[in-house]
Amino acid sequence: GENVEQHPSTLSVQEGDSAVIKCTYSDSASNYFPWYKQELGKRPQLIIDIRSNVGEKKDQRIAVTLNKTAKHFSLHITETQPEDSAVYFCAASRAGAQKLVFGQGTRLTINP
Amino acid sequence: EAGVAQSPRYKIIEKRQSVAFWCNPISGHATLYWYQQILGQGPKLLIQFQNNGVVDDSQLPKDRFSAERLKGVDSTLKIQPAKLEDSAVYLCASSLIQGGEQFFGPGTRLTVL
């Protein structure tokens, strides 16, 4: 079955700097890659997703890139702000199965 | 639009006891998911329903866990008997269609003593 590895497990950046979180997946048939943000004690919320027919997607300060050949995808946050501090999860699924397999999570801390 | 509702929000039980969680998905969402999130880990899918039918329960420990969605709307997840390692947050999510964006509920934090 699908296996998703996420790195790093913790990341600390200065406010205003960029943050990058990387994930690799094992199932070459996976074609949907969402990213979720989970603040302490709260529910995961979708922040951006990408499907395998595109290589990059942007939404304001957030972008996701996908390399299907290498089977990895990354989350990029630019001009980080204190409210970006949270745990971020990547996930992958294949069409038909719709079963999301999550990475282990990255705890992002933005230092003022 | 109301979100996914779950209850209770917190539950403390002793091992070998039984517990049940309830989920009410977003109105009109055909697909419902139950996840287990152990502290420090990502959510792990336990069971997925499409209307009132099970799509995937491959990771559900069926000797102690059961779930149902009888009328294709609300769902309950039961653990009987509970073990220490069942301590986790149980998240319910729903999506309008299979493969669509999943919306999560607030979760039920279970502590097994």
- Which tens digit of pLDDT belongs to each residue from B56-74? 999 999 999 999 998 889 9
> Cβ contact (<8 Å) for A49 and B101?
yes
Question: What's the rounded Cα separation, in Å, for the pair B34 and B76?
Answer: 9
**Quick check: B1 pLDDT over 60?**
no
Q: Provide the b/e sequence for B68-86 (b: ≥16 CB within 10 Å).
A: ebeeebebebebeebeeeb
pLDDT at B99 over 80: no
Residue with tokens 């009410």: B24
Confidence at residue A97, expressed as pLDDT on a 0 to 100 scale: 62
The reply to whether residue B31 touches residue A99, judged by beta carbons under 8 angstroms, is no
- Work out the minimum CA distance from A101 to partner chain B, whole angstroms: 7
What pairs with residue A7 in β-bridges? Answer: A22
The predicted structure's pLDDT at residue A68: 92
What is the nearest CA distance from B106 to chain A, expressed in angstroms? 5
Residues 6+ apart with CB under 8 A from A102: A4, A36, A89, A90, A91, B42, B43, B44
Task: Give me the pLDDT at residue A20, please.
Answer: 98
Using the beta-carbon criterion (under 8 Å), do B56 and A99 form an inter-chain contact? yes
Report residue B107 as tokens.
């979760």
Who among A42, A99, A102 is closest to B48 (CB)? A99
On whether any CB of chain B is under 8 Å from the CB of A60, the answer is no
From the list B111, B105, B80, the residue with the least C-alpha distance to B5 is B105
Residue A101 sits at the chain B interface (C-beta within 8 Å): yes
Question: Both tokens of residue A89?
Answer: 């999860």
Binary contact (A98, B91; C-beta < 8 A):
no
Quick one: what percent of chain B has pLDDT higher than 90? 88
pLDDT in tens, A92-107: 998 766 789 999 999 9
φ, ψ (nearest 5 deg) of residue B85? -70, -5
pLDDT tens, residue order, chain A (112 aa): 889 999 999 999 999 999 999 999 999 989 999 999 999 889 999 999 998 877 999 999 999 999 999 999 999 999 999 999 999 999 999 876 678 999 999 999 999 9
How far A7 CA sits from the closest chain B CA (Å)?
13
